[in-house]
Structure 1
Amino acid sequence: MHSWNMVAVIFMWTLGLILYPGLYGNKETGEHQTDICKHTLSCSECIQSHPSCVWCSAKDFTQGGESEGSRCATRLELLQRGCDAEHLIDPKGLVQFLKDEPLSDNADEDTVTQLAPQKVYLKLRPGEKRTFSVRFKRAEGYPIDLYYLMDLSYSMKDDLENVKKLGSDIQKVLHKVTKSVRIGFGSFVDKTVLPYVNTVKWHMQNPCPSRTERCQPPFSYRHVLSLTSNLTLFQQRVSAENISGNLDTPEGGFDAILQAAVCTDHIGWRNVTRLLVFASDDVFHMAGDGKLGGIYMPTDGRCHLNENGEYYHSNMFDYPSVGHLSQILTAANIQPIFAVTSNVLPTYQTLSELIPKSAVGELKKDSSNVVNLISQAYNNLSSTVNLEHVNLPKGIHISYDSHCPDSTKEGQPHGLCSGVKINQTAEFNVTLRMDEKNCQGGLQSFKLRVLGFNEEINVDIEPICQCDCMDEEVFSSHCSGHVGNYTCGICSCMDGYKGKHCECRQNIQDSNEGCIINGSLTCNGRGKCECGRCACNKNVRGLYCECDDASCERFEGQLCGGMNRGVCSCGACKCNSNYTGSACGCSLDTSTCITPDGICSGHGKCECNKCVCNKGYFNKLCSDCPGCQTPCQKYSACVECEAFASGLLKENCTLKCAHVNVTMLKASDWNGKDKDGWCQEKGEDSLLVFHVTEDGDLVHILVKEKQEVQDNIQKLILGLVLGIVLLGLLLIVLYRATVEVYDRQEYHRFMKARRQEQWNEDQNPLYKSATTTVINPHFSQD
């Protein structure tokens, strides 16, 4: 039986937790509303427990066995308990901009600033949120580095011929955006082992399908030309390139992208906008595919180019994964543009979703549209502003509110604005919150940056985990002289001493004599005896811990309705001036009850700032009364009993309807009157039609004769019934007539066809009856 009771209790508690979470805890902190602040024994522990917790450092704040841990509470509670505001220790975080240079309009200036502020310093208290603003403005003419990475497998033969002519066209298009453009070139095929390429010696030397056509040997990745503004050199070096070939469909493009990103010195990347154009007509190999060729070692993400610019460790390291490649490109601030043919476009679109600040464009089979593709992709990338954090310390939580030129987005994991034009500013509100565990470390740092640009914001965070009380006294007289130090309102005793004022030696056995009253438990079981005095538990006080400040009634899950309504004192609620009730749940305010017609629309009274309606009225302001009778409803019974001697009041009509004067009207008298002001109510056996005139205590009623009403109703009903019957009969007759005409026409067609028959009517000689007769030879009729 007890087990079933326990199950019922657990079930009801769980149901209450689901339906009314406010009764048991705070959604954000997971703690009880009245227990936000922990029972701590020091100011530092107090301010780390919750951002709403405050420490009272007043010297004589605790009274009558009250624990020093009660100094930790909310500001309102401490003020209500008598702690002066000057003794409240409540450190708050702050935000300082250590460097905040103005944003530039043009990239031709000596120093270009597109991101501000440049350095931010924050003080954060555990659990506290602090927000600061970040601004980004696209400067006109910002420099661009573009590295063209091309697939040189045999299927890209036509494309190579067109790319050899593209140098000036690409630079011409990008010059519309900026005067500082540099272009580089690299190429790739695949790893030079089976099954990616044919390793037969003559095939390695000339991998083209026709041996009469000369191709260069296959290779993994080759850096051909470092970034340069010399277009003539670009065309010469690219023109010297030749097509190659491999066996399988996927290409080794991931190896090439990674090496182009990490080999900064070889490629010549500047701290400007970095674009990597990846041109291919096939899909890609990725991590794990290397095992087909016996290559299992994961790529180390380092540069492995020899003097000739070739990736010489291609056959040692596996292809990079998509995640690794995304990390490398983001760290290098490189924005990839995937220029691919239509047959693989969906694959690269999916890949682009996994790589931040990347774009995909459809490449024609001969790459003739690559210049327009690069121009469109660059415009899309440069107009999209992605604000990201780098190396965020553990225990620091961050969120972004993006205020874009045309929209606002709140609570994002990163800042994002699209369609930002030249010299337009995108603003982001960055919010930081620190966990309690971060008090173990000191100053922490991370960076903010806009993807695709080299500028960064340095953010330094210093935790606020210690109290600065400014009242320290060494060997204080408050702490029994030379045996304790005083700070933040409490004594820190030397070794060998204890007590609120360090008044007892630890090696002397305490007597419980001063902690027991009337034979009760020591400190009423709510504390412990120290130095002959009670040191009470949390929310308990008094010389003998007899006063429990956590046993009051609750309203909406909080003791005495919360600090705004009242406080719990020795098991009873002390309500604030505007509240009353045993749990301070009743507000004395009447603002929500007031209507233009008075308190509660004149049909109720205001209790606890809510309307209590009179009988028959309801809703929030007692303005509705569906049960209240209209004059028509009110006098219909009197009309029926006085005019027709029927209805509910026919037995005591004289008594109930003495104030009602009923006058009967003939049809001729009634027909000329206005019908709008007349009542129509259902009687016992008829429809009552009458007009009410209230004259003080007397009521005058004009009533249409009952028979006329009945006759009209009967005629109306009879007419409707006859009309429906006639309509039904008409439909049946029409249906039968239509069927008869159709049948006669069909019969005449059949007879005409019979008369025109030309074939012989003899039986088919091939016809055999389906009936079979079986005779049992052993059957005897006898």
Structure 2
Amino acid sequence: MRWLGLSILLVVATLAWATQECKNKPTCSQCIQTPNCMWCGKPGNFTNENGKGLSRCIKRTDELATEWRAQCGSLYIDEPGNYFENIVNNNLTAAGVLAGGSASGSGMSISGSSSEEAVVQIKPQRVQMRLRVQEAYNMQVTFRQAEDYPVDLYYLMDLSKSMEDDKESLSKLGVQLADEMQKITRNFKLGFGSFVDKVVMPYVSTVPERLLHPCTNCTAPYGFRNALPLTTNATAFAYEVQEAPVSGNLDAPEGGFDAIMQAIVCQDQIRWRSEARRLLVFSTDAGFHYAGDGKLGGIVKPNDGECHLNNKGEYTHSTLQDYPSVSQINQVAKQHKMNLIFAVTQEQSSVYSRLSQMIEGSGQGELTANSSNVVELVKAEYNKITSKVELKDNATAPVNIRYFSKCKDGTEKETSVCQGLKVGDQVEFRIEVTVEKCPEKREDWRQLIGIYPVGLRENLTIDLTMLCDCQCERPGDPGYIIGAEQCNYHGTYQCGVCKCDDGFFGSNCECGSNTPWATGDYDDSSCRETNSSAICSGRGTCTCGECKCNERDHSEEIVSGKFCECTNFLCDRHNGLLCSGPDHGECVCNECKCKPGWTGEACNCEDSESNCVNPDTGDICSNQGKCECNQCKCYETADGRYSGKWCEDCPTCKGKCIAYKACVQCQVFETGEFNIEECKANCTTFNSTPVPVAEVENEGERLCTFFDENDCRFTFVYGYDENKEPIVRVQQTLECPPKLDILGIVLGVIGAIVAVGLALLIMWKVLTTIHDRREFARFEKERMMAKWDTGENPIYKQATSTFKNPMYGGGK
């Protein structure tokens, strides 16, 4: 309920603020610059039927709006609304309608009619808007890519020596490139240009011989050359590529940025068509020089972004101007709706990939070593560009434009990009235009804003007028009177109110030359309570040195005081009620004045201490706290904060857990120090209530846990009811430790020892058996390999006997 009350209060406060925001606007222009406000310019005093003054600026949805309109009259109400009108709203080009010309079908030339029909891919084309500040207007924009939309493709090639093999491939594939593009659109033109670098040191060698022949079979270096303006003759393209000589330079980067700038800005020389998708294919195997690099060659003049081609198509300011910057390239690409395709080798792919992210409408593809895949690359990048539509605008502050679209998935989301489109696919965009605030300069109140698909010259033009003032504030209007009698001849009467001349003040310019405030910077200290206070506390106006307090929408709400410092509605609230309601108190000068029996800043506290008295001791908050709003606020000590309804539990005490322990045991479990008769006699102050789980549920309750004589744990919670009687909830189940089977444990241990012993004996027996068998097998193996008779001992030698006759002399 508390949160509900706060939410209601917040909504009411928001609505009240929005309403008051209108009523605080003193002029018609300030009124209509506030969302949903309207102004009454009725001459004279503007009052209701009872003579009470009405605010000239009021919210359209105000509860008094009906009465306000009736009293003002429709003739004097200034309530401008957003206005929208389609100025040019031609239908989109139907599918199958050619954008001028037809294909010859020969494959060697590309037909294109000189009388091109206008192609419409975005609708509407021009609208007019008049918008109020902070009141958004939504409009629908449709885009559909037309079939056979004209395409101009200019191939800009690096012709340094390292690109010689690439030139050969391109000359052979020129006709094939034209044929492939004709399959996409039959209104196609092709052009060719080449570049090397600035002809100064250290970019190229200035040795006379090297200037003529920087390398073998090379021509003299140059900056940029327009070899072939856009044409339908594919054979001429192949011929120009074939005949274009290569050249050479010293450093690795090339002068490609010079060439890109000239290829874009030289519209007439390149022969770019106004109604065509413009593709500039930039082919190289090296990096690029950019703004600032020209200083190495003594060239300090910045690039001017202008066309400097002579009648031979050569760039004449190569040695006079620095290279363009990335931002310059991006700017001219956006201005001339150019789609750049960077066709580079693998080594330079990462560099040009990052560059393409910085240039609107550009893409990047990877060439093979000799550019043999150039046709597939250009075709793939073209399909990537045309399968995506991205809307952008040139709106500046304070105009904010947001884009929403369902694209092709059917779910609307905030996006200005739709992808995966094919020729003929139609997408709808919802564009939300908002004027955030009125510019200071009146000439900025009207702007022309362009919304365009990236890479296309078509666009939607918004002629926007910001509604920042009222007609009756303009000289010549009947409601505009200079030196009017209503303003005591010291101001201009406009839209029913006075705009005072310098040195005069007041609602009717009554404060001025005959008062102490004759100068323009009059002293308003008499309307301030302190030097740092707002004039009339921000709730009134200072008129001739006195505060005139604002009137509130509700007659019950009153602003009063010398400085409008007092109100009867800005006091503290409780549950959404001012001073907790009329039964508790009333709001007097921004503070609650409580009625007897109530206290507190919002009169929401009972003026009593009955709920703070400890029933056991009779002390207020057990002398460990103070009584606020008839509730104990416990003190905090070094050991911790006291707790409990009456602060009866200290941080290091067990409270009444021990006192209630015996009674809880005998009442619920029939155990403990009391038997049944003793329990009835000694435990009369409370009755224990068994519950499945004993938990603290309310503030002031205490959780107690003990173990009985069987080591079983029991838990209970105690607290107090409204009558301060103890309430004890006991967990009905004991938590006892499991019983141990001693005999089973002993037998288990013995059995485990026997089992381990048997296992060890078996393992020993197995191991010895295995060992014996291995030894016997080794013996058998050696016996089988013996080379002697196994029946004899090879070591045994027979004894030899020698007999000699000593008498024998050896004679015959």
Return the alpha-carbon distance in structure 2 between the equivalents of residues 40 and 144 of structure 1.
56
Matched, 1:397 2:400: yes
Paired position in structure 1 for 2:152: 145
Matching of residues 188-203 of structure 1 within 5 Å: 188-203=195-210
Paired position in structure 2 for 1:108: 98
CA 37–249 in structure 1, closer or farther in 2 if over 3 Å, else same:
same
Return the alpha-carbon distance in structure 2 between the equivalents of residues 722 and 67 of structure 1.
103
Return the alpha-carbon distance in structure 1 between the equivalents of residues 468 and 152 of structure 2.
47
CA 542–306 in structure 1, closer or farther in 2 if over 3 Å, else same:
same
Matched, 1:536 2:549: yes
Paired position in structure 2 for 1:98: 87
Residue 363 of structure 1: how far off its partner (Å): 0.7
CA 102–726 in structure 1, closer or farther in 2 if over 3 Å, else same:
farther
CA 719–186 in structure 1, closer or farther in 2 if over 3 Å, else same:
farther
Query: Would the aligned equivalents of 1:547 and 1:569 in 2 still touch at CA under 8 Å?
Result: no
Paired position in structure 2 for 1:242: 245
Matched, 1:181 2:188: yes
Paired position in structure 2 for 1:434: 435
Matched, 1:273 2:271: no
Residue 139 of structure 1: how far off its partner (Å): 1.1
CA 92–543 in structure 1, closer or farther in 2 if over 3 Å, else same:
farther
Residue 558 of structure 1: how far off its partner (Å): 11
2:300 aligned to which of 283, 296, 299: 296
Paired letter, 1:387: L
1:646 aligned to which of 671, 687, 690: 671
1:310 aligned to which of 314, 324, 340: 314
Residue 253 of structure 1: how far off its partner (Å): 0.9
Return the alpha-carbon distance in structure 2 between the equivalents of residues 423 and 551 of structure 1.
64
Residue 111 of structure 1: how far off its partner (Å): 3.1
Matched, 1:43 2:28: yes
Paired position in structure 2 for 1:701: none
Return the alpha-carbon distance in structure 1 between the equivalents of residues 365 and 159 of structure 2.
19
CA 740–507 in structure 1, closer or farther in 2 if over 3 Å, else same:
farther
Segment of structure 1 superposing worse, 101-110 or 643-652? 643-652
Query: Would the aligned equivalents of 1:79 and 1:85 in 2 still touch at CA under 8 Å?
Result: no
Residue 225 of structure 1: how far off its partner (Å): 0.3
Residue 44 of structure 1: how far off its partner (Å): 1.2
Paired position in structure 1 for 2:381: 377
2:461 aligned to which of 458, 461, 473: 458
CA 727–285 in structure 1, closer or farther in 2 if over 3 Å, else same:
farther
Query: Would the aligned equivalents of 1:393 and 1:444 in 2 still touch at CA under 8 Å?
Result: no
Matched, 1:227 2:230: yes
Residue 357 of structure 1: how far off its partner (Å): 1.5
Query: Would the aligned equivalents of 2:19 and 2:59 in 1 still touch at CA under 8 Å?
Result: no
CA 731–79 in structure 1, closer or farther in 2 if over 3 Å, else same:
farther
Query: Would the aligned equivalents of 2:560 and 2:567 in 1 still touch at CA under 8 Å?
Result: no
1:261 aligned to which of 248, 264, 281: 264
Paired letter, 1:350: R
Matching of residues 703-718 of structure 1 within 5 Å: 713-715=738-740
Paired position in structure 1 for 2:570: 552
Paired letter, 2:277: T
Matching of residues 481-496 of structure 1 within 5 Å: 488-491=495-498
Paired letter, 1:360: Q
Residue 36 of structure 1: how far off its partner (Å): 4.3
Return the alpha-carbon distance in structure 1 between the equivalents of residues 60 and 190 of structure 2.
63
Return the alpha-carbon distance in structure 1 between the equivalents of residues 88 and 378 of structure 2.
36
Paired position in structure 2 for 1:123: 130
Residue 133 of structure 1: how far off its partner (Å): 2.3
Paired letter, 1:248: D
Paired position in structure 2 for 1:424: 425
Alignment RMSD: 5.4
TM-score (norm 2): 0.62
Query: Would the aligned equivalents of 2:221 and 2:249 in 1 still touch at CA under 8 Å?
Result: yes
Q: Deviations for 1:214-244, whole angstroms, at most 9, x for unmatched residues?
A: 2211111100001011122222222221211
2:391 aligned to which of 369, 387, 393: 387
Larger radius of gyration: 2
Paired letter, 1:147: Y
Return the alpha-carbon distance in structure 2 between the equivalents of residues 283 and 274 of structure 1.
24
Query: Would the aligned equivalents of 2:498 and 2:508 in 1 still touch at CA under 8 Å?
Result: yes
CA 237–557 in structure 1, closer or farther in 2 if over 3 Å, else same:
farther
CA 34–172 in structure 1, closer or farther in 2 if over 3 Å, else same:
same
> What is the DSSP-based 3-state SS (H/G/I as helix, E as strand, rest coil) of the residue aligned with 2:464?
strand
Q: Deviations for 1:428-453, whole angstroms, at most 9, x for unmatched residues?
A: 22223324342532321121111121
Matching of residues 349-748 of structure 1 within 5 Å: 349-390=353-394, 392-406=395-409, 410-411=413-414, 415-438=416-439, 440-441=441-442, 442-467=445-470, 472=479, 479=486, 488-491=495-498, 500=507, 506-507=513-514, 535-536=548-549, 548=566, 552-553=570-571, 645-646=670-671, 651=676, 685=710, 713-715=738-740
Query: Would the aligned equivalents of 2:536 and 2:542 in 1 still touch at CA under 8 Å?
Result: no
CA 155–685 in structure 1, closer or farther in 2 if over 3 Å, else same:
same
Residue 354 of structure 1: how far off its partner (Å): 1.0
Return the alpha-carbon distance in structure 1 between the equivalents of residues 200 and 188 of structure 2.
38
TM-score (norm 1): 0.64
Query: Would the aligned equivalents of 1:401 and 1:408 in 2 still touch at CA under 8 Å?
Result: no
| Higher-RCO chain (CA-CA 8 Å, sequence separation at least 6) | 1
Residue 461 of structure 1: how far off its partner (Å): 1.2
Query: Would the aligned equivalents of 2:451 and 2:460 in 1 still touch at CA under 8 Å?
Result: yes
CA 368–647 in structure 1, closer or farther in 2 if over 3 Å, else same:
same
CA 648–335 in structure 1, closer or farther in 2 if over 3 Å, else same:
farther
Query: Would the aligned equivalents of 1:40 and 1:69 in 2 still touch at CA under 8 Å?
Result: no
CA 457–546 in structure 1, closer or farther in 2 if over 3 Å, else same:
closer
> What is the DSSP-based 3-state SS (H/G/I as helix, E as strand, rest coil) of the residue aligned with 1:438?
coil
Paired position in structure 2 for 1:668: none
CA 638–276 in structure 1, closer or farther in 2 if over 3 Å, else same:
same
Paired position in structure 1 for 2:348: 344
CA 728–173 in structure 1, closer or farther in 2 if over 3 Å, else same:
farther
Return the alpha-carbon distance in structure 2 between the equivalents of residues 508 and 491 of structure 1.
18
Return the alpha-carbon distance in structure 2 between the equivalents of residues 184 and 241 of structure 1.
13
CA 492–355 in structure 1, closer or farther in 2 if over 3 Å, else same:
closer
Return the alpha-carbon distance in structure 1 between the equivalents of residues 239 and 212 of structure 2.
24
Give percent identity, aligned residues only: 36
Q: Deviations for 1:105-155, whole angstroms, at most 9, x for unmatched residues?
A: 334164321011111222222233223222211111111111011111001
Paired letter, 2:497: I
Return the alpha-carbon distance in structure 2 between the equivalents of residues 450 and 324 of structure 1.
20
Segment of structure 1 superposing worse, 251-260 or 124-133? 124-133
Return the alpha-carbon distance in structure 1 between the equivalents of residues 758 and 338 of structure 2.
83
CA 508–300 in structure 1, closer or farther in 2 if over 3 Å, else same:
closer
Structure 2: which 5+ runs fail to align?
1-5, 100-116, 518-525, 528-534, 553-557, 580-586, 593-600, 605-661, 689-706, 714-732, 773-812
Number of residue equivalences:
599
> What is the DSSP-based 3-state SS (H/G/I as helix, E as strand, rest coil) of the residue aligned with 1:234?
helix
CA 444–366 in structure 1, closer or farther in 2 if over 3 Å, else same:
same
Q: Deviations for 1:555-593, whole angstroms, at most 9, x for unmatched residues?
A: 7999989xxxxxx998699xxxxxxxx99x9xxxxxxxx
Paired letter, 1:108: L
Query: Would the aligned equivalents of 1:439 and 1:463 in 2 still touch at CA under 8 Å?
Result: no
Return the alpha-carbon distance in structure 2 between the equivalents of residues 340 and 557 of structure 1.
71
Matched, 1:215 2:218: yes
Matched, 1:325 2:329: yes
Return the alpha-carbon distance in structure 1 between the equivalents of residues 516 and 664 of structure 2.
97
Query: Would the aligned equivalents of 1:471 and 1:488 in 2 still touch at CA under 8 Å?
Result: no
Residue 553 of structure 1: how far off its partner (Å): 3.4
Query: Would the aligned equivalents of 2:19 and 2:62 in 1 still touch at CA under 8 Å?
Result: no
CA 729–317 in structure 1, closer or farther in 2 if over 3 Å, else same:
farther
Paired letter, 2:212: Q
Paired letter, 1:553: C
CA 649–119 in structure 1, closer or farther in 2 if over 3 Å, else same:
farther
Query: Would the aligned equivalents of 1:549 and 1:569 in 2 still touch at CA under 8 Å?
Result: yes
